Amino acid sequence: MLVTMDKIVGWSKRKGFIFPGSEIYGGFGNSYTYGPYGSELKNNIKAYWWKRFIHEREDMTGIDGDIILHPRTWEASGHVEGFNDQQVDCKECKTRMRADHLVEDALGVDCEGLPDEEVSKLIKDNNIKCSKCGSENLTEVRKFNLMFQTQMAKVGENSTAYLRPETAQAIFLEFKNVLDSTRLKFPFGIGQIGKAFRNEITPGNFIFRRLEFEQMEIEYFIREEDWEELFVMWQKEMKAWCDEIGLSRDKCHDLEHDKEKLSHYSKRTVDIEYDFPFGKKELYGLAYRTNFDLSQHEKFSGKKLRYRDSETNEEFVPHVLEPTFGVDRTVLAVICDAYNEESLEDGTSRVVLKFVPKLAPVKVAVLPLMKKDGLPKKAQEVFKKVKVFGNCEMDISGTIGKRYRRQDEVGTPVCVTIDYDTLEDESVTIRDRDTMEQKRVKISELLNILGESYFN
């Protein structure tokens, strides 16, 4: 079965996962709305990430910083100067394009690190055309800063501020406050989940490349000499996370960045790429940022950002490993991996989303066989019980077969059916989403059985 983006986009809208944003006004660029099921899925991903990395590890804590930080932050971090993409415009149809993407698509050449003039030359020498109208009448390649700017009402020396392009920087700014207010010992990490904004020249591929997106980032503070060993530890942690959220191992790949093409702050970066329907693309990244950021903020703020070892009294600017996870890309990868179309023995077919239960937007659906004779009332009793597992649904309309299909299509791991026997013997039928097997259990044992089989 071929999972195409058309299928994913159509299903997402139809089933209330992701809608095109501002649709009643004809849509707006790359804006999307996570619908009732989509927002559950996204929240489950974020909640599991927080539990997995912040609560379950003893060496981690979390913060929640602002989107608009002091503008000097972005001078210190290098984003004002260096957070650029190369753009080229078509003089005929006025389409704006990523120059590096244009060259990569036409020649298979990676332009990362190449100066603008060289990329312009590649485009001219190879007669590369506008991706929209096919014209060769293109501008020279220019740098385009990806940060969204805004003006503050309170006018000071400079009223320009930026929407953060990464969540990471607030962690660096608060490094000392966290250190002084907690009892964390080296090495330790600070995590954060939040929105980031990038004025991408060519957003696209649904929610893959967006102007407004969410990140889950960790800055893990270390001694310089430990970086290689701890880099491997984080690689393992990130792979384990991919397994735990249900991504197929054979669709996740490591991409080691070439040394000469690394970001300005990084000494080693390994991405985890995922086989999306539109190709193998970056899902997550792990970077060794050295002590670049804290040193820069020391320089720009004049404040010391150091760790003092209480035993040796040694004081130093910590080095940092950064595992970074895009929320929207996680949602997309999880959906693509879970999406299945199956032909059934009776000649029918079904769409089924095989989400791991902890991420499923609906945990349990309770289905009274009929709308009468006390079955809905009994179903309500069961519904109240199963809600301990999270968001659950009562579905009372349509044939039981149709209701099972409806739940399969939103990935509900288990349905509980209430029938006439339930009223007699206090037992219900549980039906498994993946195997479609059904078994009869006592209501008194239901929570234990569901807990053990699905939600432990």
Taking the least distance from each CB to ligand GAP, the nearer of 276 and 389 is 276
Q: Does residue 100 belong to the site contacting ligand GAP (CB under 6 A)?
A: no
Q: What is the C-alpha radius of gyration for the chain, rounded to an integer number of angstroms?
A: 26
Q: Does residue 419 belong to the site contacting ligand GAP (CB under 6 A)?
A: no
Q: Does residue 385 belong to the site contacting ligand GAP (CB under 6 A)?
A: no
The stretch among 10-18, 324-332, 364-372, 376-384 that binds ligand GAP (CB under 6 A) is 324-332
Kindly state the smallest distance separating residue 282's Cβ from ligand GAP, in Å: 5
Taking the least distance from each CB to ligand GAP, the nearer of 206 and 454 is 206
Q: Does residue 188 belong to the site contacting ligand GAP (CB under 6 A)?
A: no
Q: Does residue 324 belong to the site contacting ligand GAP (CB under 6 A)?
A: yes
> Which residues, numbered 279-308, are part of the site for ligand GAP (CB under 6 A)?
282-285
* 3-state secondary structure at position 237: helix
Taking the least distance from each CB to ligand GAP, the nearer of 111 and 414 is 111
Alpha helices by DSSP H, 108-208: 116-125, 168-173, 175-181
- Which residues are paired to 106 by β-bridges? none
Q: Does residue 210 belong to the site contacting ligand GAP (CB under 6 A)?
A: yes
Q: Does residue 215 belong to the site contacting ligand GAP (CB under 6 A)?
A: yes
The stretch among 53-61, 213-221, 304-312, 436-444 that binds ligand GAP (CB under 6 A) is 213-221
The stretch among 73-81, 129-137, 207-215, 240-248 that binds ligand GAP (CB under 6 A) is 207-215
Residue at 351: amino acid letter? V
Taking the least distance from each CB to ligand GAP, the nearer of 167 and 422 is 167
- Which residues are paired to 68 by β-bridges? 163
| Pair type for strands 414-418 and 364-368 | parallel
| Pair type for strands 32-34 and 18-20 | antiparallel
Give every CB contact of residue 227 below 8 A, 6+ residues apart in sequence.
267, 288, 319, 321
Q: Are residues 447 and 455 in contact, defined by beta-carbon separation less than 8 angstroms? A: no
Q: Are residues 166 and 196 in contact, defined by beta-carbon separation less than 8 angstroms? A: yes
Q: Does residue 198 belong to the site contacting ligand GAP (CB under 6 A)?
A: yes
- Which residues are paired to 215 by β-bridges? 194, 326
Q: How many Å apart are CA 327 and CA 207, to the nearest integer?
A: 10
**Residue count, binding to ligand GAP (CB under 6 A):** 18
Q: Does residue 219 belong to the site contacting ligand GAP (CB under 6 A)?
A: no
Using the rule CB under 6 A, which residue among 40, 89, 217, 337 binds ligand GAP?
217
Residue at 211: amino acid letter? L
Q: Does residue 120 belong to the site contacting ligand GAP (CB under 6 A)?
A: no
Which x/- pattern, by CB under 6 A, does the window 27-66 give for ligand GAP? ----------------------------------------
Taking the least distance from each CB to ligand GAP, the nearer of 136 and 244 is 244
DSSP state string for 18-85 = EEETTGGGT--TT-EEE-HHHHHHHHHHHHHHIIIIIIS-TTEEE----SB--THHHHHTTHHHH-EE
Kindly state the smallest distance separating residue 283's Cβ from ligand GAP, in Å: 6
Kindly state the smallest distance separating residue 329's Cβ from ligand GAP, in Å: 4
* 3-state secondary structure at position 324: strand
| Distances, alpha carbon 27 to alpha carbons 31, 32, 34, 332, in Å | 7, 9, 14, 20
Give every CB contact of residue 223 below 8 A, 6+ residues apart in sequence.
186, 187, 316, 318, 319
Kindly state the smallest distance separating residue 325's Cβ from ligand GAP, in Å: 6
Q: How many Å apart are CA 423 and CA 271, to the nearest integer?
A: 55
Using the rule CB under 6 A, which residue among 326, 357, 411, 413 binds ligand GAP?
326
The Cβ-side half-sphere exposure at 11, using a 13 Å CA radius, reads: 22
Using the rule CB under 6 A, which residue among 40, 85, 89, 166 binds ligand GAP?
166
Q: Does residue 213 belong to the site contacting ligand GAP (CB under 6 A)?
A: yes
Which positions lie near ligand GAP, rule CB under 6 A?
A: 166, 168, 198, 200, 209-210, 213, 215, 217, 282-285, 322, 324, 326, 328-329
